[in-house]
Amino acid sequence: MDHKPRILVVGSFVMDVIATTERVPASAQTVYGKSFHMAPGGKGANQALQCARLGAQVTMMGCVGDDLFGQALLDTPRQSGVDVSRVLVRPGVTSGVGHVTLEVTEHTAQNRIIVIPGANRTLTVEDVSWIRQEIASYDMVLLQLEVPIEVNRAVARWAKEAGVPVMLNPAPATDLDEELLSLVTYLIPNEQEASVETALPLRSENGVLVEEDLHAIARALWEKGVENVIITLGGQGSAVVSENSIDYIPCVRMPHVADPTAAGDSFVGALAVGLTVGLSRQAALTFASHTAAITVSRMGAMPSLPTLAEVKALLTERGCDVFPLSCLDILQ
């Protein structure tokens, strides 16, 4: 590639309202929390911002409300170079909000999230119709499931017609539209989403996922037209399932886990950038794993997403030799 990759993200904006606690309350119980803060996020906006911080040229399409959250949600990606000029500001509608409860212990942090979609669910095919004429100019399209499925379906169809690869992060987990799946180049679910979306079990024995189950899930997705199935496995890294093998990319461990929010989005954004600059699949996944590792070591969604310089520094520190760092020079 002789130019910085151009990536189009169609997806959500969500303001995360985060309460940290040492213990999640049971039903009808009240507990004291440790801290409270807000951070801009949303799966689409997080992925767009991660791509931009890694050096890609990024256009984001979505919808926010005409409220204070809406303005704040646009400011952070704009400051990092994301083109948000096409994002709709919907009068009389509230912006999306994520209610995050973060359970923090000495060694780890677990989140529980309730998303109130707000303006994200008002996006229509007509709103995104401009994409059809411009989509051929992009190197990759990123989609998620926090905007209406008919919007994703239309954008994926236009991308397919133009020969532009589509990466779908199927979250939140739901039964997936078969037409949409037939248009997807890269499907990136986590283990829960992979199981829900195929109605197949993904069992674990002695802390290790059953490979027979991984193959069954992948086959079900291939039969629906998905070209590449990559399943993220949290602390176990990620798995690329092929017809006769499973390639595992290990999780990159950090000394401290502060907040797993946006780790998946960071991974997806970095994977898209790695693939569009021409890295091999294994190299792109390694790049994505190091990027997500930095994200979990920090608080918040967008505030936690690292820059290219930070990821390169971690790759160097960990002695990564899967690919030469000079492959990333186009991003600088």
Residue-number span of the structural domain to which 295 is assigned: 6-27+35-331
How large is the C-alpha radius of gyration of the chain? 19
Within a domain: 135: yes
In-domain check, residue 18: yes
Q: Which CATH number belongs to the domain containing residue 315 in this structure?
A: 3.40.1190.20
Any domain includes 10: yes
Q: Compute φ and ψ for 86, nearest 5 degrees.
A: -90, -10
Angle, helices 281-296 vs 263-276, to 10°: value is 150
| pLDDT (0 to 100) of residue 37 | 85
Question: Is the residue at 125 inside a domain?
Answer: yes
The DSSP symbol for 273 reads: H
- Count of domains observed in the chain: 1
Domain contains 1:
no
pLDDT score recorded for residue 110: 82
> What DSSP string runs through 99-151?
EEEEEE-SS-EEEEEEEE-GGGGG--TTTTTTHHHHGGG-SEEEE-SSS-HHH
Instruction: Give mean pLDDT in consecutive 10-residue pieces for the chain, a chain of 332 residues.
Output: 92 93 88 88 96 98 96 95 97 94 79 91 98 98 96 98 97 87 95 91 86 92 93 88 86 86 93 97 95 91 93 95 94 93
What pLDDT was estimated at residue 34? 87
pLDDT at position 329? 94
Residue 291 has what pLDDT? 97
DSSP letter for 222, please: H
Distance CA 143, CA 151 (A): 10
In a domain, 195, yes or no: yes
Q: How does strand 166-168 pair with strand 186-187? A: parallel
Instruction: Give 93's contacts (C-beta < 8 A, 6+ positions apart).
Output: 65, 66, 118, 119, 122
Q: How many helices (H) and strands (E) does the chain have?
A: 10, 16
Yes or no: say if 231 and 239 are a contact pair by the CB < 8 Å rule. Answer: yes
Whether 114 is covered by a domain: the verdict is yes
Whole-number pLDDT of residue 244: 81
CB 9 within 8 A of CB 59: yes
Which residues belong to the active site?
265
